Amino acid sequence: MKTPFILSSALAIHAAIVAHEADIESLDRAIGDGDHYINMKRGSEMIAGMYNELLPLPPEEALQKISMKLLSTIGGASGPLFASFFMGMSKYLKEHHAKINETNMHLETAAAFAYGVQSMMMRGKSNVGEKTMLDVLVPVSTTFTTMAAQGKSVAEICAAVKNAADKGLEYTRDLLATKGRAAGLGERAIGHLDPGAKSCQVMTHTVCDLVLKEMKQ
């Protein structure tokens, strides 16, 4: 994981979030607080705007600065949760930087991602099955880690990770929400996809597509 790729991903994610405004907003109006898209757009825009500031930094420092920026500027639940995710990744990379090389890059990136997801889970006191973004992020992380450990190709990893994100998103449809505003809706939230899970599915596809694009260049 290198800083230029982190920043390229940030630019691509911002564009993807904007492109999926209608999808995300409609889901959030149905069962959320109505501010998820605004927060996701603002957060991704903030990160994209830090491009020149972050580019010279090692990845662990860039991720830490992203975390602090999100924590200080994004409201709702999304800001602290994603701040925890980036801080977790930063912490992992700081502790393991010396042993990361080209031969184990995928496995170490998967481990950093998993550490970030675990940090998010601890911050939100949430787990899979509660109709949240974790219903996408946890299976994505598990799939990424498993495929990387098996030495699968980048193309195979991306295909499997995107499929895990799609299944995770669909899984939220029939769940009873236990977190956030959706929890107050009780069974009325059943039948609706979770907006946070949708955002994470969009971001997962975007990063995977960017990885595949860069492979071809």
How many alpha carbons lie under 13 Å from residue 9 in its C-beta half-sphere? 21
The Cα-based distances of 34 to 8, 15, 75 in angstroms read: 28, 20, 12
Predicted confidence at residue 217, as pLDDT, reads 65
How many alpha carbons lie under 13 Å from residue 45 in its C-beta half-sphere? 9
Q: Give this prediction's pTM.
A: 0.90
pLDDT tens digits, one per residue of 79-114: 888 999 999 999 999 888 756 655 577 888 999 999
Using 50, 70 and 90 to split pLDDT, how confident is the model at 39? confident
Predicted confidence at residue 146, as pLDDT, reads 95
pLDDT tens digits, one per residue of 149-202: 998 999 999 999 999 999 999 999 887 666 665 555 556 557 778 888 999 999
CA distance 193 to 75: 22
% of the chain residues with pLDDT over 70: 87
The end-to-end CA distance of the chain, in Å, is 18
CA distance 8 to 154: 18
Mean pLDDT taken over the chain: 87
The domain of 128 spans 3-216
Other CB atoms within 10 A of residue 178 CB: 14
Q: How many domains does the chain have?
A: 1
CATH of residue 129's domain is: 1.25.40.340
